[in-house]
Structure 1
Amino acid sequence: MPASIPTKSRSAARRLAATPRWLWWALAGCLLIGLWRLGALIVHDPLIALANSYDEVRYSACFGLYPDRPESVPPDRNSPAAPYSRYRFVAAKDPICYWSTELLFQGAAAALFHTEEAASGAKAHSVRWIGAFKILAMLALWFAFSIAWLRRREPWSALANGLLLPLLFADPANTIYLNTFYAEWTALLALYAVAGLILIHEGKPARGHAFALLALAAAALAVSKIQHIVLPFGIAVAMLALGRWRDRVWLWKGKALLIGALVGIIVQVVQLQRDSDAIRAINVFNQADVVFTAMLPNSSDPAATAQFLGLSPQCLQYSGKRAWQMPGFPADLCPELAKVSRSRELLALLHEPGMTLRIGWAGLANLHPWVAPGLGLVEGGDFAPLPAQFFSWSDLFAERPLLRTLLFGAPFVALIALLWRQRWRAWPRLLTVTVLTIVVTLGTLTVTVLGDGLADVPKQGHLVYNAALVWWIGALVVGWRSLFPATRRRA
């Protein structure tokens, strides 16, 4: 056994040494450009981050961390006009704490803040530490996957993974969540881990550590946000179905995903059963957004739909309004709203298919811009947008509906093309990426619309843009590779 360890090490070293020189240059370029784009935003002064829409408090309250503001300001008050770069520990009354994978980064930062207080007596702490921990986690995954592809002598897959850093992770639409207590970045990392592990082990037999890592990544994704509670389960079902159809086997990756997804679902179900005034208020706000921004505006007969849901006619006046735009607490303005169950909403959608289709189309149409709108991005500003010197794909897609159609529609067209006469056999991994992209798109958009209406689609559905861009990066690399068949054969 001891003699086998150096043999394996030498074998891995030989595989890395055989990596084409152009790939080393390409990966180095990806790393430098990615770090430059990340660094420019995370260290920018004043702070650039997404302002608090109250969602942050659900997580920061777990550690008693709130913006460094005058004591006369309630610690849990939102600050939509601009983000804060300094936070301090405050003993708030009845704090709400949402369980999330995001708490790993915040817990590390909170421990650092406590150490800083003990050492220097400082009371206000930089939120940029949370961003630093999140970047380190992403870079660790990126390096791990890059090395894994190189060891497998798959240069084009390594290139596709390398391009994700400068083109995707470093885009401001993602990096505005770094220096915040939002969970969007954590959800993206968990999805990256899930997809990367699936693709790296494409066609490979099960290994104990791989099985455990994939299950862990699926659980992390399910626990990252309430909106993603069933996403890993959908991915698991898709992988099981794909393996059964393609190879007549139940893929071990699907089984690992299923175990992790079920663990995550159990945690989230327990969380949803917790009872407090804050949680009940959040549920009412979400219910109001579903009914008043999605269902009633897209119904062919809003009065009949309201009656079917059990709402009084007076509630119709709030159709089209987000919960925070209503002149009071939604349950006070429309008392029947609190009694509208999710099952009743689903029955209404089944009862009126036309409304269901219109809601789905509206959800897709409301995805843009990718940079979450309605909240300030610059500290000290008044709903200030992203500074002009920072480029984001969001600007390009928001201004060109045709590009958005190509971005989101291409994977669905590709699936049909790959299945046609089993053309997927030439690109089996592209088929897997396509299936994953479609599951993430449909799953995320469905849960977003049914869970929060059309009130905040760009932010809640941010994984849709990421999945679509990953697909395009992979497809373009596959297309470019096809121009160099000799290189493909050597690989």
Structure 2
Amino acid sequence: MDFLRQWIGIILILAGLARAGIVVLHDPMLGYANQYDMHRTSACIGLFPASEAAAQAGTPEAPIPVYKLGSRTDGCYQSAEVGIAATAVAIARATGASTERFKLQWVGYVKLALLFGVAFAIAWLLRDHPGASAIHGLVVLFILADPVVTLWMNTLYTEFATIWSLYLVIASACVLALYDRQSFFAWALLFIGLVVLAMSREQFALLGPALVLAAWPWLWHSSRQLTVAALVVTLVAAFAALYVLPRPVLVTKTNRTDTYLHLLVPASSSATRGLATLGLPDTCEPLVGASWSRQRGESVEKTCPQVFALSSFSFLRMASDEPAALARAAARTLPSVQGVAPTYLGVMGGQRGKPIDDLPWWAFSPLRALDAALPASVFVALTLVTFALAPAGLIALLVLRRYRGDPLTPLLLAMLLGGAAIYAFLTTIFGDGMNEAARHYMPGALATYVALLLAIGGLGTLAMRWKETPKEAMLELGAGIAVIALAAYGCWLAMAWIGAQPGGDGGLDQPAGRQVSASGFQLRGWAVEPSGVESVKVRLGTLERAVRIGEASPVRGMLRVESTHAGYPDAAKAGFALELSREDLAQAGAPNPLTMRVLVQGKNGAVTEIDRRNLEFVGAPAPAPVPAPAPAS
């Protein structure tokens, strides 16, 4: 029993290594396919698919296993992933491997070594704390070694560096909280994690300073000088990530369009007010609700280039003028962040259209299965509870502060997990909008599942501790019940308010632009709503028509809707269609230009506008000119 108690953490990590190694080393290669984002890493080091056809195009159906090293190109997105890939290239050159037939799995080998090198280092630091070591081993085995995470290894996406560095920061901070003596090794791991986290992706540049501030009381107790140094280092790294490292202009344009035009301005009480608050001209009004990928026949660059001049912090203008708009935007986005794995990407080399759900039994992902099985309301509730961990941990810390002999590490862990989830959600909304919201929020979703795992695994440990110290147990139990009750009540109020807000999402696949035939045309698109879709209506001039719900959108688009909105009711049949005849158009006011609006009503009664465009009719005689008024006699 003593042997198992001492080595359980290492045993769990070894099991996790075996589980992850099966995925990373498998032939044919397993990894998320390139939807195009990997090319931004490729451009920095000149590492592109060996196939000429795939070298400059997205290949979302299946990953490409063989790359070749060439010249750098435009579009480079500097990140920690570039450093990892460059390390793999350097090792390949040093060992004499051919860079003309560079296996993408070699990058995966480096990532596998990084993940489990850190895991064993943390386990060694926790050697005097078998309970903490066991919990750490459970996280490695069931979360970090899950295919949801390990499928990012054989890729050039930025996700692995974010997950790895966040794990490193939280784990090393908890080690420092547990230690009565100073550990320079743990501090070194913390500094490395903070720098890599800032460089992992622009979205997470400021997460490091936030985590250092959250852990300040624990870090300060370990070393005042190193705590200050950690804050300075992470602030410098954040500044470099935000303002020094070059970013592709296209990424900035996409983010600003999706955040401000697609999400925040429609959340305002009126489009005019939203545009004015952000300092955008009235000429941007036709693009309100449009995204970069769906510009509705308009051109953001021609009609509303001013949106590109907004900073990633311009949403703060709404915080003072119309804070309710930010709350409505958050409520609309919250259900869309469900989806811990991008199931619209193939994952097996040489087999097109094989997503994570179709992997063999030995690569089964319980994490993905749990995430897919959760109804949207349950996922939202778990997410809100995770958010509440940060303030709840702070309150508990203030109440229990007199127990200075107890490191209170579980409170630190709760605050860091909750803080990471809050940060990931806020930066998803105000940095990228609803475009691939689930993918951008993935670190927050993983924090939720880590918290759930720790809550289950920690109940026994907590009960044993209370049995040994019954007096302290009474205060801790009372404080815990009070905090949980307040958090539960707050979550209930938040869910009730969120459930009443307009949260619809969707778009038109057909027509693609503004010009349509005056003899009639067909509309095809998709619509989802967290409460369920009650109806979808099209308003064209003076005409209003209800569409047929349950129709299929184009195949590729429909598969993506199902995967990115899996938690929404009826996401599998979210398509709609409507035919408008010549007579319908004449009744609406054609051939004069008309404004068309597509509105989705949820079963909660709330209405969301998912498309608006000013239609122009072709193939019809021009409307008769309006006669000039007769001069007054």
State the TM-score bracket (shorter-chain normalisation): 0.7 to 0.9
CA contact (8 A) 2:333 2:429 kept: yes
CA contact (8 A) 2:191 2:230 kept: yes
Distance 1:351 1:48, change over 3 A: farther
- The separation in 2 between residues aligned to 1:259 and 1:177, in whole angstroms, is 31
- Displacement of 1:442 in angstroms is 1.4
1:263 corresponds to: 236
**Which aligned pairs between 1:295-374 and structure 2 lie closer than 5 A?**
295-311=264-280, 315-326=284-295, 330-332=300-302, 334-374=304-344
CA contact (8 A) 1:350 1:356 kept: no
More helix by share: 1
Is 1:215 matched up with 2:188? no
Q: Which moved more, 1:389-398 or 1:305-314?
A: 305-314
Distance 1:331 1:373, change over 3 A: farther
- The separation in 1 between residues aligned to 2:318 and 2:381, in whole angstroms, is 32
- The separation in 1 between residues aligned to 2:226 and 2:422, in whole angstroms, is 21
**TM-score, normalised via structure 2 length:** 0.65
**Letter aligned with residue 255 of structure 2:** N
CA contact (8 A) 1:50 1:375 kept: yes
Secondary structure at the aligned position of 2:4 is classed as helix
CA contact (8 A) 2:387 2:421 kept: no
**Letter aligned with residue 55 of structure 2:** P
- The separation in 1 between residues aligned to 2:51 and 2:193, in whole angstroms, is 37
- The separation in 2 between residues aligned to 1:324 and 1:371, in whole angstroms, is 21
Once the two structures are superposed, what CA deviation does each residue of 1:413-437 show, in whole Å capped at 9, x if it has no partner?
A: 5553783582575771111011111
- Displacement of 1:463 in angstroms is 1.2
- The separation in 2 between residues aligned to 1:243 and 1:35, in whole angstroms, is 30
**Letter aligned with residue 345 of structure 2:** L
CA contact (8 A) 1:173 1:392 kept: no
- The separation in 1 between residues aligned to 2:367 and 2:118, in whole angstroms, is 23
**Which aligned pairs between 1:363-442 and structure 2 lie closer than 5 A?**
363-386=333-356, 387-388=358-359, 389=361, 390-400=364-374, 401-405=376-380, 407-413=382-388, 416=392, 419=395, 422-423=399-400, 425=403, 428-442=408-422
1:146 corresponds to: 123
- Displacement of 1:260 in angstroms is 2.4
**Letter aligned with residue 90 of structure 2:** A
- The separation in 2 between residues aligned to 1:343 and 1:433, in whole angstroms, is 28
Q: Which moved more, 1:457-466 or 1:250-259?
A: 250-259
1:224 corresponds to: 200
Bigger Rg, which one:
2
CA contact (8 A) 2:269 2:325 kept: yes
Once the two structures are superposed, what CA deviation does each residue of 1:395-446 show, in whole Å capped at 9, x if it has no partner?
A: 3123323542453333455553783582575771111011111221112221
RMSD: 3.2
- Kindly tell me the number of residue pairs found equivalent between the two proteins: 457
**Letter aligned with residue 97 of structure 1:** C
Which residue, 87, 102, 105 being the options, matches 1:108?
A: 87
Which residue, 129, 132, 135 being the options, matches 2:109?
A: 132
- The separation in 1 between residues aligned to 2:181 and 2:15, in whole angstroms, is 36
Distance 1:294 1:205, change over 3 A: farther
Unaligned residue ranges in structure 1 (runs of 5+): 1-18
CA contact (8 A) 2:258 2:291 kept: yes
CA contact (8 A) 1:286 1:453 kept: yes
Once the two structures are superposed, what CA deviation does each residue of 1:352-386 show, in whole Å capped at 9, x if it has no partner?
A: 21111122233332221110354333334554421
Which residue, 17, 24, 31 being the options, matches 2:13?
A: 31
Once the two structures are superposed, what CA deviation does each residue of 1:249-292 show, in whole Å capped at 9, x if it has no partner?
A: 995564243022123123214435x4xxx722221111111123
Q: Which moved more, 1:189-198 or 1:403-412?
A: 403-412
- The separation in 2 between residues aligned to 1:464 and 1:325, in whole angstroms, is 27
Unaligned residue ranges in structure 2 (runs of 5+): 470-633
**Letter aligned with residue 244 of structure 2:** Q
CA contact (8 A) 1:235 1:439 kept: yes
Distance 1:74 1:139, change over 3 A: closer
- Displacement of 1:333 in angstroms is 5.3
- Displacement of 1:140 in angstroms is 0.8
- The separation in 2 between residues aligned to 1:43 and 1:488, in whole angstroms, is 46
Secondary structure at the aligned position of 1:143 is classed as helix
- Displacement of 1:484 in angstroms is 3.4
1:457 corresponds to: 437
**Which aligned pairs between 1:465-484 and structure 2 lie closer than 5 A?**
465-484=445-464
Give the structure, 1 or 2, with the largest relative contact order (CA under 8 Å, sep 6 or more): 1
- The separation in 1 between residues aligned to 2:224 and 2:380, in whole angstroms, is 33
Is 1:287 matched up with 2:248? no
- The separation in 2 between residues aligned to 1:221 and 1:204, in whole angstroms, is 27
**Letter aligned with residue 419 of structure 1:** I
More strand by share: 2
CA contact (8 A) 1:194 1:218 kept: yes
Is 1:238 matched up with 2:214? yes
- Displacement of 1:180 in angstroms is 0.4
Secondary structure at the aligned position of 2:36 is classed as coil
Secondary structure at the aligned position of 1:88 is classed as strand
Distance 1:226 1:52, change over 3 A: same
Distance 1:208 1:250, change over 3 A: closer
Secondary structure at the aligned position of 2:30 is classed as coil
CA contact (8 A) 2:63 2:348 kept: yes
- The separation in 2 between residues aligned to 1:210 and 1:431, in whole angstroms, is 19
Secondary structure at the aligned position of 2:126 is classed as helix
- The separation in 1 between residues aligned to 2:224 and 2:421, in whole angstroms, is 22
Q: Which moved more, 1:187-196 or 1:295-304?
A: 295-304
Is 1:189 matched up with 2:171? no
Is 1:447 matched up with 2:417? no
Distance 1:215 1:477, change over 3 A: same
Distance 1:95 1:253, change over 3 A: same
**TM-score, normalised via structure 1 length:** 0.82
- Displacement of 1:26 in angstroms is 3.4
CA contact (8 A) 1:51 1:84 kept: yes
- The separation in 2 between residues aligned to 1:181 and 1:144, in whole angstroms, is 25
**Which aligned pairs between 1:143-182 and structure 2 lie closer than 5 A?**
143-150=120-127, 153-182=128-157
CA contact (8 A) 1:306 1:313 kept: yes
Once the two structures are superposed, what CA deviation does each residue of 1:38-78 show, in whole Å capped at 9, x if it has no partner?
A: 133223444332222332222222221011222xx483433
